[in-house]
Amino acid sequence: MSEETTKVTPAEMESLREAIAIMARLRGPGGCPWDREQTFESIKRHTLEETYEVFDAIDRKAWPELKDELGDLLLQVLFYAQMASEAGYFNIQDVAANLSAKLIRRHPHIFGDASAETADDVNRNWEAVKRQEKAERGDAPAGLLADVPRHVPAMLEATKLGAKAAKVGFDWADEGGLFTKLEEELEELRLEVRPGEAGSERAFDELGDLLFTAMHLARKLKLDPEFALRGANAKFRRRFNAMEAAAGGTETLQKASEEELDAMWRLAKQQVG
């Protein structure tokens, strides 16, 4: 490893050591009652919340807030590692050592003799190393989709499933075919929606197919559907807030006609984009 990759200042190391020590004290005898009561299961939801708060800070380019949110996310790592250490599973040093070994092993173009000129080359190297790791562990051969986790958000799972299937050529040739498929799925959903009948099982299935196809289209266009939707959510929030402010409050909106609401919405779009 070159000297350039090991430039960690003493102050940085001391800050990490202090954070680790504080976490141990909070969990130790005489520590914080709340921290001492927590388990792996009880803090899972906090980890997810902190992750989305990191996303939110990045979306808003709120860099001082991002510093705080990354600290909160690091706290989750320290929390899990401290509980694991108490149980005799592993400790934070094991976590860091395992990460370092993995980064070196999976970047042979930096730390080994492999070459990679493009991001696609890096991905191919990465997949080859992962296959080698599985072989060394003696893992039984599994289906192509076996390592796509089921517990991730549905949009991410759909994107990963499509990417895996594409590795063996099971994919649309271009986005044109996907636009056609999207139109077909939309029409099938439309046929299953009947006036006065909401929540039918067939409509449920067709909506799933429509969303699944949309995820394939996003992958083909090299767009992240999660962040695309977050962007659309932010745009809707911005426009609706402007419309509400222009109307003078929620009560005015509640009394407005459909035509008036539509006019206010168009005006808000012009004002805030």
Residues shown for the chain: 273
The dihedral of CA 123, 128, 134, 136: what is its sign?
negative
Type of residue found at 255: K
User: By CB neighbour count within 10 A (0-12 exposed, 13-18 middle, 19+ buried), where does 162 fall?
Assistant: buried
pLDDT over threshold 80, residue 209: yes
Cα separation of 166 and 179, whole Å?
Answer: 17
Q: What pLDDT does 137 receive? A: 79
Other C-beta atoms closer than 10 Å to the C-beta of 81 total 21
Cα separation of 193 and 79, whole Å?
Answer: 48
Other C-beta atoms closer than 10 Å to the C-beta of 204 total 11
pTM: 0.66
Other C-beta atoms closer than 10 Å to the C-beta of 163 total 13
For 135-144, the pLDDT digits (tens) are 777 776 678 8
For 100-117, the pLDDT digits (tens) are 999 999 899 999 888 888
Residue-wise over 2-16: b if at least 16 C-beta within 10 A, else e? eeeeeeeeeeeeeee
- Cβ atoms of residues 92 and 84 within 8 Å: no
For 13-57, the pLDDT digits (tens) are 999 999 999 999 999 999 999 999 999 999 998 998 999 999 889
Q: Which residues pair with 194 in a beta bridge?
A: 197
Cα separation of 158 and 219, whole Å?
Answer: 10
Residue-wise over 173-200: b if at least 16 C-beta within 10 A, else e? eeeeebeebbeebbebbeebeeeeeeee
